[in-house]
Chain A
Amino acid sequence: MATTQLPDALLVRNYIDGDENALAILIKRHQSKIYGFIYSKILDRDVADDVFQDTFIKVIKTLKSNSYNEEGKFLPWVIRISHNLVIDYFRKNKKMPMHRETEEFSIFSIMTDNSPNIESRIITEQVESDLLRLIEELPDDQKEVLEMRIYQDLSFKEIADLTDVSINTALGRMRYALMNLRRIIEKNQIILTN
């Protein structure tokens, strides 16, 4: 095709006049040099593609809004735009560096998940159900105080009011409840740790 031999300046003029094919020829003609330039600075294919795309978006906008100044040549102008975008990329990346997963570096080596895993969750559930069974062994008055304090989170004053005893009695029942629990645990050699 004859149009592929046209000089850049004429293709740019044709593109401004509405010939979309002229842009395709310009990109095809210069893509290797421009992309190579960007890649040589950034060394990441995906980011280089992004910068290449942003470069041509600027080129298209400038040409379509008739702000292109024909004094310079097309390729050096595009390279200058891509150079500025590369600088922008490094500036942005300096503020918020991007790390890719490689063989030597894994993001999970510095990022940990503190939530319990399935094993520790099962152990916790087991411990809790064992403890509930042990509490069932306690005398009713002690059991009542312990459940109100631990599971319902009531204060000793509230417990005392609800069970119609003095605070000291409620405290005493709680103390005996804990002592009895320890005794049962030691006697049966139950391990209640996670």
Chain B
Amino acid sequence: MAKLYTKKKKATPKMLPKKETVNFLLNYSKALRIVKIGDVNFETIAN
């Protein structure tokens, strides 16, 4: 029987969030503006 020479992966792959999640956050950050007037924060999201 043929031998298998491929190595087993010992380390589990890095856990990463979905690309969509990261992209959403970056877009959200770009769109968000917070203006502080007195004690109140006003959030505006640009389209």
Contacts and interface: CB of A to CB of B under 8 A. Distances in A.
Interface string B1-38: 00000000000001111100110111011101110100
Interface in A5-34: 20, 23-24, 27-28, 31-32
B18 A20 contact: no
> How big is the A interface, by class?
20 to 34
Contacts of B16: 31-32, 35
A31 B34 contact: no
B47 interface: no
B41 A65 contact: yes
A53 B36 contact: no
Given A61-B32, A66-B36, A24 B18 contact: no
A52 B16 CA distance: 10
Contacts of B21: 49, 52-53
A61 B18 CA distance: 21
A57 B36 contact: no
A27 B25 contact: yes
B22 to A, nearest CB: 6
B24 A53 contact: yes
Interface of B: 14-18, 21-22, 24-26, 28-30, 32-34, 36, 41, 43
Given A32-B16, A64-B32, A64-B34, 4 more contacts: A20-B29, A23-B26, A53-B24, A64-B33
26 contacts: A20-B29, A23-B29, A27-B22, A27-B25, A31-B17, A31-B22, A32-B14, A35-B16, A36-B14, A36-B15, A52-B17, A53-B21, A53-B24, A56-B25, A57-B28, A60-B25, A60-B28, A60-B29, A60-B32, A61-B32, A61-B34, A61-B43, A64-B32, A64-B33, A65-B36, A66-B36
